[in-house]
Chain A
């Protein structure tokens, strides 16, 4: 900026009333032109001068030279980009429409061996930055271009953090370090344990419990020594977390201690009048507390069918793998539940088996428990964690059986509906047909809850089949329902059919 212009601006800012204005002398063509101005009025002269100088500057402007660190460029992608139409589907979902289908689309894109085109990478990366659960899903489909791009924006560092895990572990904040630890735990559990052991004395007490919880990824006997030591930690949360990890390792010393305790408390009498004989624990001693037994029951007194000592019993039995009992007593899971059901300490036993089923991922017990508690008026625990223990095809089978058993009963309906919406995200044709047929009959009997549930399920059902089926019902629906079905059931189904068809095309 020239002095000439600066003088003009300063003078204009103050006003010619306050500061008298005179054109500064300058040489060259510009000076010549300015000299030709003749205004009696100072304000006018200033404006005229400014017009000339401003234009002179504008026309004489030259580009800026900025020292810029050389930017690496991205190697070409061998994976083909998705079609323009598929990209349109993605853009629609990122804009908020049919967003619940995004997970399915990303998986289908990866399966089709294609990637997201460059134009949509920023929106997708932003979305995944804000919604962590999408991060693992986008990594297979952003291609080299996406990885390259993410390197340029710190907000997208999650893409490349896999390789940088060690660095983040050394320097990151608690949240990022936890992420790095979990990541490494997936690929190299032993190294992750080594990291944690090395930094353990320096770790802030509030973070310790969360770091221990991260060890549940690929937990093994290699972790036992470390965890056993953590049982003596000053903080209760840390001890509890360590005990929980150890309880998942049947050969661990903690499990052995628990088994010893449990063996003193429960006895199986076989024969005609087979039963469980229970001896409740007398007290929650120091050794028990060290092993993570919680002295105080979480259940409110009014609602406590267990009692305090029943609560201790449930915790101890729940830390023993169910397989131990089945072998020792030579009975089936069904038999165990039958004996538990008629026992005086029924609630404590059920809770114990529920905990053990989760801890040791015992499919047989999970399935058997599901069948018992769905249909109970006030179940002691939720069926949802149990269904998660079953492998996918089995889940459909079990929930399908529950649905059939439900018939037109009201009791247990809520639990079955919750299971349907929770357990499986891509339904098989058979399961879709089963649920829809049940829903159709319920709706016919004026149970509208099933109609509105289809809104959520429309993102899970096998789309082509479901669409055909729903179209058949249309004539029987009320007018407002037709509109609702069109917008919230049909539309997402159509969208899913179309996006999947587009991704399948040309592969």
Chain B
């Protein structure tokens, strides 16, 4: 499996900067004993502060890590160090059959993957259809009540005026959001929490707040006449309110098999969780997909995908009028750092794409976009990118790698991938002379 792993990709797997540092320091041949590798795995023993050396192993097919050290970070510094060392000095690893301790772990991993599939199948069979239906009805009633209350709250808000709302404390929003959580409408609660900070967001806040409120109103209207809407739009509305599709049901469906390129990733905090968006692009299907994962604290995300690599996989999309979010049903080989051709757009084209997407899903917030040839520029302390036709796009104020972007470009056009919210672009990766760089 000749993949050009890069140190940069591996560093990106570190759960925090101190692990990255410690891992880099361990990427040193003299720290390791019995280094070995097979087509699928890497292993080695690292002398730490304990009595016996730690046994560290990596399943390259994901990659997945395992180490006998007591660290609760994942991957631990030994895992990162071993991987970094492999990238730097592959020759230090003896090519051989995995020793027993590695072999057993790999077998266990395979068995677990099989079990997961079986379990999902068996659970499906075990569901008591009546009890299931009953629970669903109960929830629907609760949500219904929550929505009636929210509608009244919204009306009062506009009746009394947004200026009055601006003087209210955060608790004003939070209390209503909490009631929605109780009503099992977590999606609506999330939308309210996002609005809570808008009143204090500076110039133009009233525009931003009314826009959000009206979008929420549109959602409530949509829910009231749910049955009259197309199935996909129903699905969008139900997901936004807080009904997550049952993963097992989704995974039972046939997905889209393709070589999926991981174009970019962004990790952010959401309600005390660490969330990760990975944006994928199918080489054959020419579709974009979003893998969304959550983790507590320093836990690692369930599945490891690395920006800059291609992945043979089957994805199942959530039902939507503009399907983006997907689940990974099955993954195969990781192949090549990608240089595949894929469609990229001009600035004007991504505006058109967004209008078309909104026509299908008016609540859509982020659109993944690849701009084919744009030049980064700094105007009045603000970063922009401009295409050959002179059309420009503002970069997000939260984007803090503007100078790095400019340094990579050298004043020339580059291909850029990012998240586009209709106003600002948040760049996640770029290609310079065919070489991929992650910016996040």
- Cα-based distance from A8 to B156 in the complex (angstroms): 16
CB-based contact B410/A118 at 8 Å? yes
Q: Which of A14, A44, A63, A498 contacts B155 (CB 8 A)?
A: A44
Q: Which of B7, B157, B384, B407 has the most CB of A within 10 A?
A: B407
Binary contact readout B149-178 vs A (1 if CB under 8 angstroms, 0 otherwise): 000001111111111100000000000000
> Which candidate, A54-62, A251-259, A354-362, is the interface stretch facing chain B?
A54-62
Name the distance in Å between B3's Cβ and chain A's nearest Cβ. Answer: 15
What is the bound-complex CA distance between A148 and B412, given in angstroms? 12
Cβ of A405 within 8 Å of any chain B Cβ, yes or no, is no
Within 8 A of B (CB), among A96-148: 97, 118-119, 121-122, 145, 148
A395 to chain B, nearest CB (A): 31
Q: What is the distance, in angstroms, from B217's C-beta to the closest C-beta of chain A?
A: 4
How far does the alpha carbon of A431 sit from the alpha carbon of B269 in the complex, in Å? Answer: 53
Q: Are A51 and B7 neighbours in the complex by a CB distance under 8 Å?
A: no
B214 near A15: Cβ-Cβ < 8 Å: no
Contact B161–A65 (Cβ < 8 Å): no
Q: B423 → chain A, closest Cβ, in Å?
A: 8
Within the assembled complex, what's the spacing in Å between the Cα atoms of A229 and B3? 73
Which segment, of B302-310, B311-319, B351-359, faces chain A? B351-359
On whether the beta carbons of B358 and A46 are closer than 8 Å, the reply is no
Q: Beyond A44-B155, A483-B49, is A73–B412 a contact (Cβ under 8 Å)?
A: yes
How far does the alpha carbon of A73 sit from the alpha carbon of B87 in the complex, in Å? 33
Q: Is the CB of B391 within 8 A of A65?
A: yes
What's the dominant secondary structure at chain A's contact region? helix
Nearest Cβ on chain B to A337's Cβ, whole angstroms? 49
Contact with B along A10-33 (1 / 0, CB 8 A): 001111111000000000000000
Q: A44-B155, A95-B17 in contact; A68/B404 too (CB < 8 A)?
A: no
Take A9-B210, A51-B214, A55-B362 as given contacts and tell me if A62 and B351 are in contact as well, using a CB distance cutoff of 8 Å.
Answer: yes
Q: Cβ of B24 and Cβ of A494 under 8 Å apart?
A: no
Q: Is the CB of B221 within 8 A of A145?
A: no
Residues from chain A with Cβ under 8 Å of B213 in the complex: 12, 47, 50
A71 CA to B375 CA, complexed, in Å? 9
Given that A14-B163, A149-B406 are contacting pairs, would A50 and B88 also be in contact in the complex, using a CB cutoff of 8 Å? no
Query: Which residues of A in the span 32-89 have a Cβ within 8 Å of any Cβ on B?
Result: 41-44, 46-48, 50-51, 54-55, 58-66, 68, 71-74, 84-85, 88-89
- The docked-state distance in angstroms from the alpha carbon of A219 to that of B392 is 55
A59 touches B358 (CB 8 A): yes
| A152 CB–B CB distance under 8 Å | yes
Q: Main SS of chain B's interface residues?
A: helix
A503 CA / B379 CA spacing, docked (Å): 38
B422 interface hit (Cβ, 8 Å): yes
Q: Does A415 contact B (CB under 8 A)?
A: no
Instruction: Tell me, yes or no, whether B137 is within 8 Å of chain A by CB.
Output: no
Instruction: Decide: A63 and B392 in contact? CB cutoff 8 A.
Output: yes
**Alpha-carbon distance A502/B154, docked complex (angstroms):** 63
B contact residues vs A (CB 8 Å cutoff): 6-8, 11, 17, 21, 24-25, 28, 30-31, 49, 84, 87-88, 154-164, 206-207, 210-211, 213-215, 217-218, 221, 347-348, 351, 354-355, 358-359, 362, 375, 377-379, 384, 386, 390-394, 403-404, 406-408, 410-412, 422, 432, 437
26 A-B pairs within 8 Å (CB atoms) are namely A5-B207, A15-B160, A15-B164, A42-B159, A46-B158, A47-B213, A50-B211, A58-B422, A59-B355, A62-B351, A64-B394, A68-B377, A71-B375, A73-B410, A73-B411, A73-B412, A74-B411, A84-B6, A84-B7, A88-B84, A92-B21, A97-B24, A118-B408, A149-B406, A494-B31, A502-B88
**A15 contacts across to B, CB distance below 8 A:** 158-164
In the complex with contacts A145-B407, A153-B403, A494-B30, A71-B377 CB distance below 8 A:
yes
Looking across the interface, which residue of chain A has its beta carbon closest to that of B219?
Answer: A51
**Closest residue of B by beta carbon distance from A45:** B158
B25 touches A13 (CB 8 A): no
A66 touching B392 in the complex, CB below 8 Å, given contacts A14-B163, A47-B158, A95-B17: yes
With A73-B411, A119-B437, A491-B25 given, is the CB distance from A13 to B161 under 8 Å? Answer: yes
Chain B nearest Cβ from A463, distance in angstroms: 12
Residues of A within 8 A of B49 (CB): 483, 486
